[in-house]
């Protein structure tokens, strides 16, 4: 018999997870219900009010793990780059049920929101309850929390309670670039996707900060800060030269595969074309 | 046991929570308006409203409607809004085999209730999760546009 739990508070949810760590947390269910992998137990967290709030804490934006895409798209504090990806998630009905935290925990290389989250150095807030009833929290970077296809660095009893965007004001001040390539406009699982952020100092043609990440071209999202570093502080010919060399490096780094949605060759070529377009526009200041 | 409001009436399902809402509606409550097309949230034939929002009942666990209001095409068909949509769908030839129609109608209601005067782009976006293999969509878009004009004041 499958065990099912319907907690009404966060502390109740964490107690259930402490006592029955095999229970799989379910928010909208849009991935779990399709996978049809019977778990021994499910804990339905969509009625837990504490994880349905999005708020600023200091410089960081905390996005409640239970908030659905449709509501997140209305949040003024969420950067446009992340909204651009959320708008492309599946269809209206799925955006009424699915959550950002669910997209992270599903740990698919094609997760639409992951390239933006990697670019923004996003983190997850993990909570668990100790034997004495006290609640402990830790923060983990999304790029380290996701360790492989459907694999997470999560400990027994832990629940993702929020997604954190550190220094969100600075991110909102950056120019953004997002591209999702799929077989059709709606309901598509991406063949590949790309997210980019760029900042140039006021009155300066040099690139001050630049970040980019690729989806669906590896086991996890691909971001290479050492490549981004090569472009910082440059402008004009020096920037263009560095950009060419970054595209060349990425052609070695990206290792996509053939599958039912696309081919390795297509994925790599289109990813590099999009990278060149992004780097060109970032250099010209035309993003 | 899961309690919720189904087409305006308080009901209780004997399910334990992990069941698909679609199966509960069709088997336990004999509401066969919501259809199973793909069974994985891609075709929208199973679409219903939960607290007024469009949901694919084939991937909604029963647990997630506890305490909420579920409206299927059977409940919706008793409303004035439905009657306008029904007439406009018929007049515009927006129904052929009919399999997608209940879901398409719920998607139209979900759109018009939040945006009573949508443009064509907004109509296309609103039904982008509902597949129709007969009409080529244009007749459905025409029907929803017509309903928004002729049902002015209802939404």
Fold of A48-168: 3.30.465
| Residues B8 and B61 grouped into a single domain | yes
The crossing angle, in degrees rounded to 10, of helices B101-114 and B80-91 is: 120
Cα B111 from Cα B116, distance rounded (Å): 7
Q: Which residues of B touch A183 (CB under 8 A)?
A: none
Fold of A174-284: Enolase-like; domain 1 (3.30.390)
Flag whether pLDDT at A204 surpasses 90: no
Question: Tens of pLDDT along chain B (155 residues)?
Answer: 999 999 999 999 999 999 999 999 999 999 999 999 999 999 999 999 999 999 999 999 999 999 999 999 999 999 999 999 999 999 999 999 999 999 999 999 999 999 999 999 999 999 999 999 999 999 999 999 999 999 999 99
Domain end point (choices B75, B109, B128): B75
Cα A126 from Cα B49, distance rounded (Å): 32
**A46 near B CB under 8 A:** yes
User: Which of B54, B61, B67 comes nearest A26 by C-beta?
Assistant: B61
The crossing angle, in degrees rounded to 10, of helices B80-91 and B138-150 is: 140
- Which residue do the tokens 């599958």 mark? A259
User: From the CA of B132, how many Å to the nearest CA of chain A?
Assistant: 14
Helices marked H in A69-127 — which ranges? Answer: 69-72, 80-87, 92-95, 100-106, 114-119
**B58 near A CB under 8 A:** yes
Which helix or strand (DSSP H or E) is residue A24 part of?
Answer: strand A23-26
Within-domain flag for B155:
no
Which pLDDT belongs to residue A54? 96
For the stretch B115-141, pLDDT in tens is 999 999 999 999 999 999 999 999 999
Domain end point (choices B75, B92, B108): B75
Which pLDDT belongs to residue A167? 98
Task: State the CATH number of the domain containing residue B98.
Answer: 1.10.150.120
Q: Which residues of B touch A32 (CB under 8 A)?
A: 61
Find how far residue A138's CA is from the centre of its chain: 18
Beta bridge partners of A41: A3, A23
User: Which of A4, A34, A70 comes nearest B41 by C-beta?
Assistant: A34
| Residues B104 and B43 grouped into a single domain | no
Contact B60 A94 (CB under 8 A): no
Q: Which two tokens stand for residue B110?
A: 């979900």
Reported pTM: 0.96
**Among A220, A166, A213, A165, residue whose Cα is nearest residue A193:** A213
């Amino acid at each position: 018999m499958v065990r099912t739990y319907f907690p009404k508070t966060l502390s109740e949810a964490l107690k259930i997870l402490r006592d029955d760590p095999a229970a799989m947390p379910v928010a909208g269910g849009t991935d779990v219900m399709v996978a049809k992998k019977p778990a021994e137990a499910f804990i339905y967290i969509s009625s837990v009010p504490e994880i349905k709030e999005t708020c600023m804490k200091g410089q960081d934006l905390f996005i409640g793990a239970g908030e659905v895409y449709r509501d997140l798209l209305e949040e003024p504090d969420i950067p446009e780059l992340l909204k651009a990806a959320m708008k492309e998630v599946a269809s209206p009905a799925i955006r009424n049920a699915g959550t950002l935290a669910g997209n992270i925990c599903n740990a698919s290389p094609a997760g639409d929101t992951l390239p933006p989250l990697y670019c923004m150095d996003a983190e997850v807030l993990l909570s668990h309850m100790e034997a004495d009833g006290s609640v402990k929290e830790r923060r983990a970077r999304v790029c380290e929390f996701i360790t492989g296809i459907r694999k997470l660095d999560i400990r027994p009893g832990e629940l993702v309670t929020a997604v954190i965007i550190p220094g969100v004001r600075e991110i909102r001040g950056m120019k953004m670039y997002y591209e999702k390539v799929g077989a059709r406009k709606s309901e598509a699982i991406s063949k590949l996707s790309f997210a980019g952020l760029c900042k140039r100092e006021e009155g300066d043609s040099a690139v001050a900060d630049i970040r980019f990440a690729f989806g669906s071209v590896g086991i996890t999202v691909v971001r290479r800060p050492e490549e981004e570093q090569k472009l910082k502080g440059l402008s004009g010919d020096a920037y263009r030269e560095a950009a060419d060399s970054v595209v060349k490096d990425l052609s070695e780094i990206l290792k996509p595969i053939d599958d039912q949605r696309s081919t390795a060759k297509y994925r790599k070529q289109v990813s590099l074309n999009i990278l060149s377009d992004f780097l060109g526009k970032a250099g010209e200041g035309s993003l | 046991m899961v309690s919720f409001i189904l087409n305006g009436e308080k009901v209780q399902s004997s399910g334990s929570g992990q069941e698909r809402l679609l199966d509960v509606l069709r088997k336990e409550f004999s509401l066969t308006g919501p259809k199973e097309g793909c069974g994985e949230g891609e075709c929208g034939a199973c679409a219903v409203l939960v607290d007024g929002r469009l949901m694919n009942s084939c991937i909604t666990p029963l647990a997630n409607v506890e305490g909420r209001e579920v409206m299927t095409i059977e409940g919706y068909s008793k409303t004035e809004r439905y009657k306008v949509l029904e007439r406009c769908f018929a007049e515009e030839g927006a129904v052929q085999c009919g399999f997608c129609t209940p879901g398409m109608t719920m998607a139209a209601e979900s759109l018009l209730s939040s945006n009573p005067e949508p443009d064509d782009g907004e109509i296309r976006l609103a039904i982008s999760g509902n597949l129709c293999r007969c009409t080529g969509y244009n007749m459905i878009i025409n029907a929803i546009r017509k309903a928004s004009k002729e049902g002015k004041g209802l939404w």
